[in-house]
Amino acid sequence: MTNMRQATTAQIRRFEPDLGWFFRTPEGIHGLGHETRVLIWSQILSSMVREENMGVDSDVVGWVAAFHDTQRWNDGIDAGHGTRAADWILERPSWLSSSIPIEEVAYVCRWHVPGDEEAPAMTPELKVFKDADALDRWRIDDHDPAYLRTNATKKMLDARYSLWEATHGFVHVDEMFEQILIVALSQGILVSD
Ligand SMILES: [Fe+2]
Ligand SMILES: [Fe+2]
């Protein structure tokens, strides 16, 4: 994994999504598998963008990865799902430690859906999260690196394909999170601790 940093399994486990959070189902293209892969990319990107002089709160983007698509009503554009996720977490402040800026978590959830130009501000956390989310687009071959917001993400295009290829067919949600971590370990994307 040249040019790519690794995250640890313990770091990823801090943000493990709960199956009960999903409004519809933790299965499917915006389910637990997607959120777990985006979570992994969010933590690696948060570390890598420091080389681009971007300071990113990795806790914020980790929690956004865990929450951002849980309130979908369907697998289409579903333009309201970011706003619903933001409002849903703001109604549950006890879920996050007091050291986590819940307003920032909600902000990135809210604005991860529309185009960059619509967001009031493209904060470092919103840029990194949108790139992490883009690395797991279901039509992965449609991906156009020209639209990425950080240089670090462009170094991860091969790794994201190998992780997606090896894990997108997983169907058993009870084991899915750990199975994806095992694959990421075997591919050198994560290290254990
Ligand atoms: Fe989304
Ligand atoms: Fe997503």
Range of the domain at 84: 7-185
Q: Which ligand is nearest to the CA of 39?
A: 2
Residue 1 belongs to a domain: no
Helix (H, G, I), strand (E, B) or coil at 7: strand
Indicate whether 142 pLDDT > 70. no
> Cα(133) to centroid of ligand 2, in Å?
5
Q: How confident is the model over 120-134, as pLDDT tens digits?
A: 999 999 999 999 999
Segment 171-183 mean pLDDT: 97
Which tokens go with 134? 């883009």
Which is more confidently placed, 139 or 188?
188
Q: For position 164, which CATH number holds?
A: 1.10.3210
In DSSP terms, 7 is beta-bridged to 190
| Number of domains within the chain | 1
Residue 193 belongs to a domain: no
Residue 99 belongs to a domain: yes
Segment 164-185 mean pLDDT: 97
Residue 72 belongs to a domain: yes
Distance of CA 17 to the CA centre of its chain: 11
Residue 191 belongs to a domain: no
Instruction: Output the pLDDT for position 2.
Output: 53
Residue 93 makes CB contacts below 8 A (sequence gap 6+) with: 102
> Cα(35) to centroid of ligand 2, in Å?
7
> Cα(17) to centroid of ligand 2, in Å?
13
Residue 178 belongs to a domain: yes
Q: Which ligand is nearest to the CA of 132?
A: 2
> Cα(158) to centroid of ligand 2, in Å?
19
Q: Which residue has the tokens 């190998």?
A: 162
Instruction: Output the pLDDT for position 121.
Output: 98
> Cα(8) to centroid of ligand 2, in Å?
21
In DSSP terms, 190 is beta-bridged to 7
Residue 150 belongs to a domain: yes
Residue 129 makes CB contacts below 8 A (sequence gap 6+) with: 42, 61, 64, 65, 68, 108, 112
Listed in sequence order, the DSSP H helices in the chain are 9-13, 32-48, 58-67, 81-90, 102-111, 124-134, 151-154, 157-167, 173-186
Indicate whether 180 pLDDT > 90. yes
Instruction: Output the pLDDT for position 158.
Output: 86
Alpha carbons 136 and 182: distance in angstroms, whole number: 18
Residue 2 belongs to a domain: no
